[in-house]
Amino acid sequence: MEYMLAQTHRLAIYDHQPIQGLAPIDFDSEAGQAGFVLLCVPAYPHQELLERLAPSLQSHCICLSIAKGVDEQGRPPKQIYEQVFKGHHHYCLLYGPMISEEIRANRYAFAQLGCSDDSTYNRVSTLFEDTKLFIQHSTDIPGISWSVILKNVYAIGFGIADGLKLGDNVRGFLRAAETNNHPILLVFWPSFCVAARVT
């Protein structure tokens, strides 16, 4: 995110541990002045960070998270935002193929922005308009939240299928199931694979 935004926006970067070359900032003061707060951290510290941020945020500020996964209570970031903000602050989730090394090599990246309203989407799109990040709006916040978690399950399935040399038919089956968001129970044994749709 820093690489994409530093040329066109003033950034104040906070890390809970001092980093050489990164000047410390007044967390609460900077949060109170921010138009956007980007949480580039895993899901587990979201509640603590959002509880700290909430009293300082202005009404127009948008919090944006790229966290994929769940916290120790099994909550994805969407659920944490809802429980902490209680509808008082704007938030969105940015998910997609955004590999840091490729972004820093000035290559294209793609993401879905999960947010409930067009005005939030438009403001975030403007934030990234001079970058090579292409953003698509999604109002299915629960869907994209769980999809980024489930893709890792499918990735393991693809790896196992490749390792067991099960062939392109199994890979095609997995790809179709993934594309259609069908929950699939995969059971692999050394010599065969059993797949059953879970309903």
18-75, pLDDT tens digit by residue?
778 777 778 888 888 889 998 988 999 999 999 999 999 999 999 999 998 899 999 9
Kindly state the tokens that stand for 78.
Answer: 């969407």
Is the domain of 10 the same as that of 56?
Answer: yes
Is the domain of 15 the same as that of 101?
Answer: yes
136-194, pLDDT tens digit by residue?
999 999 888 888 887 777 788 888 888 888 888 888 887 777 666 555 544 444 444 44
Question: The domain spanning residue 60 has which CATH number?
Answer: 3.40.50.720
Q: Residue 170: CA atoms inside 13 Å, Cβ hemisphere, count?
A: 21
pLDDT for 159 equals: 87
Is the domain of 158 the same as that of 135?
Answer: no
Total structural domains within the chain: 2
Is the domain of 109 the same as that of 162?
Answer: no
Is the domain of 130 the same as that of 161?
Answer: no
Asked if 183 and 198 touch (Cβ cutoff 8 Å), the reply is yes
CA distance 8 to 127: 9
Is the domain of 23 the same as that of 63?
Answer: yes
CA distance 150 to 166: 21
CA distance 139 to 141: 6
What is the model's pTM? 0.77
Is the domain of 27 the same as that of 125?
Answer: yes
Considering 118, 139, 160, which residue would you say is the last residue of a domain? 139
Asked if 111 and 94 touch (Cβ cutoff 8 Å), the reply is yes
Considering 93, 109, 139, which residue would you say is the last residue of a domain? 139
CA distance 145 to 174: 20
Is the domain of 51 the same as that of 125?
Answer: yes
88-101, pLDDT tens digit by residue?
999 999 998 888 89
Confidence of residue 120 (pLDDT cuts 50, 70, 90): very high
Q: Which residues of 99-129 are buried (b: 16+ CB within 10 A; e: fewer)?
A: eeeebeeeeebebbbbbeeeebbebbbebbe
Is the domain of 14 the same as that of 77?
Answer: yes
Is the domain of 99 the same as that of 166?
Answer: no
Residue 192: give the domain boundaries: 146-197
Asked if 82 and 76 touch (Cβ cutoff 8 Å), the reply is no
